[in-house]
Amino acid sequence: MIVLPCRLGAPRPGWSRAADIVVIGSGIAGLTAVLHLRRELPAARVLLVTKAHLDAGSTRWAQGGIAAALAAEDSPADHLADTLVAGVGLCDPDAARVLVDEGPARVRELAELGARFDRADDGSFALTREGGHLRNRIVHAGGDATGLEVERALIAAVRADPAVEVIENALVLDLLRDADGRAAGATLHVLGEGSQDGVGAVTAPAVVLATGGMGQIFASTTNPGVSTGDGVALALRAGAVVADLEFVQFHPTALWLPPAESAQVGAQPGGQQPLVSEAMRGEGAVLVDAAGARVMAGAHPLADLAPRDVVAKQMSRVMAAQGVEHLYLDARGLGAQTIERRFPSITARCRSVGVDPVTMPIPVAPAAHYASGGVRTDLWGRTTVPGLYACGEVACTGVHGANRLASNSLLEGLVFAARIAQDIAGAEHAGRCRDAVPAAPVVGRGSGLTDPAERAELTRAMTDGAGVLRSADSLRATAKVLAGLGDLRVSGATVTAGPPAWEMTNLRTVATALVAAAATRTETRGSHWREDFGDRDDAHWLGRILTRLDPEGELIINVEPMRPAP
């Protein structure tokens, strides 16, 4: 039995700050939450906390765009249908309906805020397709720099509001709770100067987690180095329920580099593999092997535009059969003008490592990209801990099910962040919010830390045993490695409290929960592929796996059947 820490080992807070709402994370979800909170509650003290700089999260790396039914020939119903198909029976239909119904207004709101989306000749949004979409509904900016432009507009709006206090370079540690178990703020470690340096406490009756994903548990990921699962780990330690952790989407087309070059851009712990957007396949690029044979021909009716899990699995099968480390994305048929106009960032990145997409196929391989699971929420972003909210990739609203539909992620952050603001405002007006008074002690039992020197071993084990290909044997071996990493009696290591140890402990916590969920689901569904259970099994597994930590640090797993469709 693996016992996980219920509290991170850390010094007691040396400084404190009070707010009405604290938002943790500065991607599209966190920034949108702040702006809507300021609109709904102009007198509220809103504090935005981010792990590095405001622009260091995953949002800036979103190349493809935002999915929304904005075309005359499209509709929310069509968008909903595509979302449910991609989710392979596990989407929460109510949450998905909220997403597609409210999404168009949120996208138009972004444009009004100043986001410069690409436009057609008549001034309307220029729309394209991505995998799994049967309509052109992907709004993009700068060709393939959508996330960067969205982030620019949101950060400018937040910076322009002097009432929003921002704390950068702050790693969130643990949730503070009051005597009734409600959220009462969070402890942070700030790499700053003066009174805010080191561990401190921010008290607030409402805490919004928008901390992003956990791709850094794998050796190869498109996620930035800050994506170490901090929010999910915090929620587990606080007793919140997490859901669907087994469903990690591997992007089929991360730029593959030889080991020597890869070490310079992201193979080391904390690294990030460059992404080759799915939108390139939406424009007509195709996957081929070294001989030029089409990889997706006959594998799915949508061929290269099949859902990402289908493409990643087929690529993995072909790579294993041929004994190769990568395949190729051939975009040469698009022509130089289209490639350079539509995909300037990808073109520049490829050329920087000696690959010219205009004249050469691009070497690509699957990499961990997006966590469909996370902290379980309802339709208003509320978790199972009162006063604690979650939105964006850290959350599991149920909209993605077993596999996220392309470009629904940015939309989810927009839609549910706005809903959280509405709910907090409603609670404020109803008198349900009150001053936050954390219960003592702030630092409790179960504060064991994991040795950060073993991070590479963790990511290798996760990639080998719980990556695209999984089986009972591989998951059992991975669980054994994770258990050993936490036993300091075996390693003999002395772990010093600090950011490396806290991040490593978070990585081990979320990795352990993910492996437990993946071992429980004995079927293949969406982005969860079991080699030993290769078929979807609706008779036994049409339900969601819920995970939580009990007060002693033991993982508790339950399966919740899906509600019958209305």
CA 108 distance to own-chain centroid: 23
Element (H, E) at 262: helix 259-265
Asked if 295 and 312 touch (Cβ cutoff 8 Å), the reply is no
Q: How crowded is residue 180: how many other Cβ atoms within 10 Å of its Cβ?
A: 10
**Axis-axis angle for helices 230-237, 499-520 (nearest 10):** 80
Six token digits for residue 80? 């909903």
d(CA 267, CA 249): 19
First to last CA, the chain: 40
DSSP 8-state class, residue 404: P
Verify whether residue 308 is a known catalytic residue: yes
Per annotation, catalytic residue among 308, 404, 521, 548? 308
Q: What string of H, E and C letters represents the secondary structure of 273-324?
A: CCECCCHHHHCCCEEECCCCCECCCCCCCCHHHCCHHHHHHHHHHHHHHHCC
Six token digits for residue 494? 């002395």
User: What is the residue-wise DSSP string for 465-520?
Assistant: HHSSSB-HHHHHHHHHHHHHHT-HHHH---PPPSHHHHHHHHHHHHHHHHHHHHHH
CA 78, 81, 85, 86 torsion: positive or negative? positive
Q: How crowded is residue 527: how many other Cβ atoms within 10 Å of its Cβ?
A: 30
Return the active site residues: 308
